[in-house]
Amino acid sequence: MFLPSDPGLLNRLNRGMFVTPRARRIGFPDYEVVNAREHHNHYWGLRHELQYEFRDYRIKHSYFPFRLPIADLSVFSVWNITKPLDSER
């Protein structure tokens, strides 16, 4: 599962320096509003929901671009969720 680290520090920095200016240049003057409407669920809320809903599953996280498990220093994370074997329960 792909989970953007929005509103993480690195994600906001990337959006402010690169994405928003480019969006404005190509004709989206209100990109921040569009982004806010499309991303109303923040990373930490989604993370808690996933951990709760899949509490009986094995969860492995990978963070990018750095491998550090810190949401503010990543742009996104990939979650590998697998059901445990019956012997692991």
pLDDT in tens, 53-68: 999 999 999 999 999 8
- Determine the Cα–Cα distance for residues 52 and 55; give it in Å rounded to an integer: 5
For the chain, how many residues are written?
A: 89
Q: How confident is the model at residue 87 (pLDDT cuts 50, 70, 90)?
A: low
Domain boundaries, the chain: 2-88
Q: How many CA atoms lie within 13 A of 50 on its CB side?
A: 20
Provide the whole-model pTM: 0.74
Residue 76: its H or E element: strand 76-82
> Quick check: 2 and 73 in contact, CB under 8 A?
no
pLDDT in tens, 7-53: 889 988 998 999 999 999 999 889 888 888 877 788 999 999 999 99
